[in-house]
Structure 1
Amino acid sequence: MSTATEQSPINFTPDEGDGTMAPAYAVVFCLNYMMGSGYLTLPRAFADAGLVWGLSILVAVSIGATAAAECLLDCMARAGWIAAARALPESGGSFCRVPLDAPSPPVTRLQREAPRPVQLPDLCALYLGDTGYAAYVTLISGYMLGSLWCYAAIFAAALEANLAPSGHVLYVGLFAVFVVPLSLKDLADQKAVQTLLAFGRVVMLAVMLVTALTYLWSMGPIAPMPKRTGPFDGVAALAPVVTFSLVLHHSVPQIVAPVKVRSEFDKNVLFRRAFVGACLLYALFAAPVAYLFGEKTQSAANLGWATYHHVHDASDPRDALKTRLIAWLAQFVVLYPAVNVLATYPLNVITFGDALLAAHRRFQANGEVSATPPSRTSVRIARLVAAVPPLIGACIQPDISSVTNVTGCFGLFLCAVVPGVLSLAARRLAPGPTEHASPLNGKAAAVALVLVGLVLTAGSLAAAL
């Protein structure tokens, strides 16, 4: 069994040209899935709950999110054993239905070494039956609709802050012109675009951090932190916001399927690096911004830079140049999230559309195995069905804060409870260690995910309502 310390560093390699991608691109895709819009709401949540609570829950949720991703990898491997043992056709790909009424013959060592990719709807149908499948489709639909709704609203809000404030519907329409065509492409076809936009996001976060620290050093906080009447004020609302910033678990199969790695355990390492990177970026970004703006922190933190400025002596040319530079940087911070969600929206549409198509094929086949892969036309139609309704919602309700609280509760359940339940059910149906086995996806970790996820989801939903 390989260990994390035995793996070579992730490096970019030229495009293989066969629909695959190098491991480092998977880390980029992970960050792009997570850092769509949720991370912009972190500073406000940190300000409301306090920096100590904010950083503590961020670290705790990051560890739990890593464990959940590894649990899903373990479940996928076990599903591969069952598919191989039942001699299911390889041509069916991830959309091939695993028959629930067929008995599972004993799995040989040879069959265990030939896993096949299985999507999350397949996993729920295999391990939890029709009820579990229906529950997952309901959860993912609620989460994805809310997430995509927020992305479109953030794009329009960023343009409204810099251009005509009354053109919200027009800006959502402009957003649709960019994201709908990208949603019809496969992930491997978007490597260059996703990498470039991920680099731009890092630059934006660096600008926000440097300008925030500079302002704090020279002038102090813009406003005091919000007054809190008790030590737990704002904590219940913090968990779904942090989770919303770290959820990618509904897309684990899509991320790992095209990745070329030397061993299956490398996929565990990919998610560990992605979540560690996201946790560090979020901590460096959210804490200083929350402390800078205090009670004036906006629900989308980047909008605070629309009025960010330093006071300088205009008679000094150096100060005048500095003032203009700060104004340009502030404009970049306000506008870049609009560009960023252009990358994240198609990624989530692909996941949502594929889940809808799998549900449709399951209904059409009446539970029978379909060895025929879906046509390119049906895939595109499903993705259009996934892409359009959130755009309409963003035209009707542009306030993201009223959407993210409830959407984060869906994310908590998907991020913790679903992977934990699947892991426990998978171990019962197909026991034995897999190539992904680690302390983070053992039985104890799965039980902890379920229990903690249920408590946090219940508390967060109560706070949201």
Structure 2
Amino acid sequence: MAGGITESGEPYSPFVGLVYMFNLIVGTGALTMPKAFAEAGWAVSIALISFLGFMSYMTTTFVIEAMAAANAQLRWKKRKQEEVDDSDSTSEYSDDDVAVRGRSEPETKPILSVPHRRCPVFSERSGGHVDHFDIVERVEMGQMASMFFNKVGVNMFYICIIVYLYGDLAIYAAAVPISLMEVACGNHSCSAGSVKYNDTDPCWGSVTRKDAYRLFLTVFTLLLGPFTFFSAQKTKYLQILTSLMRWIAFTMMIVLALIRIGKGAGEGRPPAASLSGVPNLFGVCVYSFMCQHSLPSLVTPISDKRRVGSLVVLDYVLILAFYALLSFTAIFCFDSSLLHDMYTLDFTDNCSVLDVPFLRYFLGLFPVFTISTNFPIIAVTLRNNWKTLFHRDGGTYPWVVDRVAFPLITLVPPIVVAFCTHNLESLVGITGSYAGTGIQYIVPACLVFFARRSLEPAVGRDAVNKHRSPFRHAFWVWFVLLWAVSCLLFVTANIILNDVKK
């Protein structure tokens, strides 16, 4: 999706925007959440996910406010340039005229002379009155960073988004082969219940499950890796298909778990609290609420943005309820010690829950189809971010660097990580805890802080951003930053302590 009709693609209704945001947030992270819930305990989990959902909502409102501020700044600069152009094209004064003109007007003018009213408005050349803060042009987070941050801040932003995208690709690269391995090597006979396998267990003859995983990862790399060297476009109908499959799968899992619990056959006896599982749950929850980096593409095409704030609230309430329902039905339906990193796998080899072979295969292969469609898009996004990070004005890359080097540094690291480990819960936890904390907390807080500071000298305190966050006091910005730093320190200390114990 790309501002107005020309910049942001075909406009859509607020309801469609709500659905898109829901689909954007609810993804791979949801499949790793049940195991994280079981390890941290149901009471701790519901408290933490509720708080993290609130924090994610707050920073989402920060990004939307920063988007409106960026649109206002771009509009003011455009109007100033138009005034300069008009002045140049009509300037035919004599020296005396200029002297008189200079005595009657100040030598310097602000970017925009703000009328004495709360919401500054001006008439554009195309006609009509437009609010400065209308979000009509898509301004991506990288562009906002370049508008509001200094050079160091811009580079830090790109490093953060690159690390996050690397984590995303590593998770995707591991999730698909795991699903294929479980379908090919798992227990599909209804003569036994759920079984927890080891990597060294046989799959086909002398081929172990770990060997099968690496074989499928190699095939996955050969099939989808080449897309990194090209552009991923026109995926609209593919995304609709994968979204449909996703909701069929999620609905099936929730209904099947509820039926089993209702029959009194649930095996789960999760603890109320287990602090050892909190750090990983934190990373999983942060990752599962991630949407801030995609908000410009999501919000800009909404036709009526007056209700964006209410829609965002509703979306987060629905997402929180969905995560709680999915995870609670899982931890009370299945034995916590047997839960897989990816929740769909708990249905593929447990015929007491689902005894229809076709549906078991559908759930087992569901991540293969949905994740595979996203891998090329994320890879191309990461490749383009690398190019932007090293780009210099007026410079171009040699063909080898542009078409070979950048795709390779995009593709190779996550594939190597996936070859070394397929512990999805850890991959999601680390990605969410570190890069996710930066993208979801630190960057939005800094964007809105510097956006407010950059606008005030130009328009004064009377200009009201109609898309401003409900958390407009500076306290909330510092609270988010303090929370982010505390989380990073806590997670790091926990990882060090666990390594010492081992």
TM-score exceeds 0.5? yes
Equivalent of residue 325 in structure 2, options 275, 278, 284: 284
Q: 1:212 to 1:405 in 2, by over 3 A?
A: same
Query: Within 2, Cα distance between the matches of 1:346 and 1:207?
Result: 27
Q: Distance in 2 between matches of 1:381 and 1:267?
A: 41
Q: Does 1:157 align with 2:178?
A: yes
| 1:308 correspondence with 2:338 | no
Distance 1:351 1:270 in 2: 27
Q: Output the aligned Cα RMSD.
A: 3.6
| Residues 1:29 and 1:463: Cα distance change in structure 2 (over 3 Å) | farther
Of 416, 421, 434, the residue aligned with 2:441 is 416
Distance in structure 2 (CA, Å) of the matches to 1:117 and 1:385: 28
Mapped contact 1:28–1:198 kept (Cα < 8 A) = no
Relative to structure 1, is the Cα distance of residues 254 and 351 closer, same or farther in structure 2, using a 3 angstrom cutoff? farther
Q: Which residue of 1 aligns with 2:10?
A: 20
In structure 1, what is the Cα distance between the partners aligned to 2:447 and 2:133?
Answer: 21
How far did residue 309 of structure 1 move? Answer: 2.2
- Whether 1:135 and 2:156 are equivalent positions in the alignment is yes
**TM-superposed deviation, 1:63:** 2.1
Q: Specify which of 353, 377, 385 is matched with residue 355 of structure 1.
A: 385
Corresponding residue of 1:99:
none
Deviation digits for residues 13-54 of structure 1 (CA, Å, limit 9, x no counterpart): xx99x9425245544443443333211111111111111221
Q: Residue 286 of structure 2 contacts residue 432 of structure 2 at CA under 8 Å; is this kept in 1?
A: yes
Q: 1:299 to 1:78 in 2, by over 3 A?
A: same
1:215 paired with 2:206, answer no
Amino acid in the other structure paired with 2:425: S
CA contact (8 A) 1:67 1:441 kept: no
* TM-score when normalising by structure 1: 0.77
Match of 2:282 in 1: 239
Please give the secondary structure, in 1, of the residue aligned with 2:436. helix
Pair 1:138–1:222, CA change in 2 (3 A) = same
Mapped contact 1:213–1:288 kept (Cα < 8 A): yes
Contact 1:172–1:395 at 8 Å: present in 2 too? yes
Partner of 2:232: 185
CA separation in 1, counterparts of 2:339 and 2:65? 40
Contact 2:32 2:424 in 1 (8 A): no
Query: Judging changes above 3 Å, is the alpha-carbon distance between structure 1 residues 406 and 387 closer, same or farther for their aligned structure 2 residues?
Result: same
Could you tell me how far 1:244 is from its partner in structure 2? 0.7
Q: Which amino acid aligns with 1:337?
A: P
SS of 2:465 mapped into structure 1: coil
Structure 1 alignment gaps of length 5 or more: 1-14, 91-102, 312-322, 367-371
CA distance 1:68–1:383, shift in 2 (3 Å): farther
Q: Which has the larger radius of gyration?
A: 2
Do the aligned partners of 2:224 and 2:375 also contact (CA within 8 Å) in 1?
Answer: no
Q: Residues 171 and 424 of structure 2 are in contact (CA less than 8 Å); yes or no, is this contact kept in structure 1?
A: yes
Q: Secondary structure at the match of 2:275?
A: coil
Q: 1:31 to 1:83 in 2, by over 3 A?
A: same
Are positions 1:77 and 2:77 aligned together?
Answer: no
Structure 2's unaligned 5+ residue stretches are 82-108, 115-119, 125-131, 186-208, 457-462, 497-502
AA of the residue aligned to 1:406: I
How many residues align? The count is: 412
- C-alpha change, 1:154 and 1:441, in structure 2 (3 Å) is farther
Task: Report the equivalent of 1:427.
Answer: 452
TM-score w.r.t. the length of structure 2 is: 0.72
Q: Which moved more, 1:133-142 or 1:378-387?
A: 378-387
How many Å apart are 1:261 and its aligned residue? 0.9
Which is further off, 141-150 or 380-389? 380-389
Letter in 1 for 2:24: Y
Identity of aligned residues (%): 20
